Chain A
């Protein structure tokens, strides 16, 4: 079974630009979550989608947005990029939203803002 696939693996942008990251979940998984990982803040939750609906949202500004398609694939968009947005962005999928459902992670997209 293929794992969670994130594209691209690396991205370099400049301040003010926008970026779109993509995530393909494990086949059959309907829940997709996004996390930001930085050395200072650790792993922070961005949002979760289930059946194309945003079910949970973390404490991030409106510049961060996402969506999920009918095939469960998800995209995350960040507009008006800031230096502080440099991070590893991780996508995770799970079969459902139950607390006992483990989330399976992709290898992430490393975003660098110049």
Chain B
């Protein structure tokens, strides 16, 4: 079946550091890929998405590129802020099926 694997956290960075959170997936078809972010005490917010190979999703300085050849969708940000501290989830969805999530990666950014 389909699955998503994320790098284990927590990831601890200083403000303005470069961020990469790795995400790889297994899918039988052609899924769309998503990154969600969850702040303490809140639900998940859609951060960005990509619907086909080589698409790049971007939002709020975060980027991720849908790489079919490596089945990856790594999240990157050039300069993180304290306010980016949260849990990040990679997810995939095929038509007619539910979202499948990775286990989440906790990011902690210190000033």
- Which A residues are within 8 Å of any B CB, using their own CB? 4, 6, 33, 35, 42-43, 45, 48, 55-56, 58, 90, 92, 97-108
Q: CB-nearest residue of chain B relative to A103?
A: B99
The answer to whether B42 has its CB under 8 Å from any CB of chain A is: yes
The answer to whether B93 has its CB under 8 Å from any CB of chain A is: yes
Per-position contact with A for B81-111: 1 when CB-CB < 8 Å, else 0?
A: 0000000010001111111111110000000
CA distance A48 to B98 in the complex (A): 7
Distance from A98 Cβ to chain B, minimum over Cβ atoms (Å): 5
Known: A90-B43, A106-B43, A108-B43. A100 touches B32 (CB 8 A): yes
CA distance A16 to B46 in the complex (A): 36
Distance from B98 Cβ to chain A, minimum over Cβ atoms (Å): 4
The answer to whether B79 has its CB under 8 Å from any CB of chain A is: no
Distance from B69 Cβ to chain A, minimum over Cβ atoms (Å): 20
The total of Cβ contacts below 8 Å across the A-B interface reads 59
Determine the chain A residues whose CB is within 8 A of the CB of B95 once the complex forms: 97-99
A-B contact pairs, 27 of them (CB 8 A): A33-B98, A33-B99, A42-B101, A43-B104, A45-B98, A45-B99, A45-B100, A56-B98, A58-B98, A90-B43, A90-B44, A97-B96, A98-B95, A99-B30, A99-B51, A99-B94, A100-B49, A102-B34, A102-B46, A103-B46, A103-B93, A104-B46, A105-B43, A105-B45, A107-B41, A107-B42, A107-B43
- Which B residues are within 8 Å of any A CB, using their own CB? 30-32, 34, 36, 41-46, 49, 51, 89, 93-104
Contact of A99 (CB < 8 Å), options: B31, B36, B102: B31
CA distance A92 to B51 in the complex (A): 19
Determine the chain A residues whose CB is within 8 A of the CB of B101 once the complex forms: 42-43
CA distance A102 to B50 in the complex (A): 10
CA distance A97 to B93 in the complex (A): 10
Determine the chain A residues whose CB is within 8 A of the CB of B31 once the complex forms: 99
CA distance A33 to B100 in the complex (A): 12
Distance from A60 Cβ to chain B, minimum over Cβ atoms (Å): 12
Are A99's CB and B43's CB within 8 A? no
Determine the chain A residues whose CB is within 8 A of the CB of B100 once the complex forms: 45
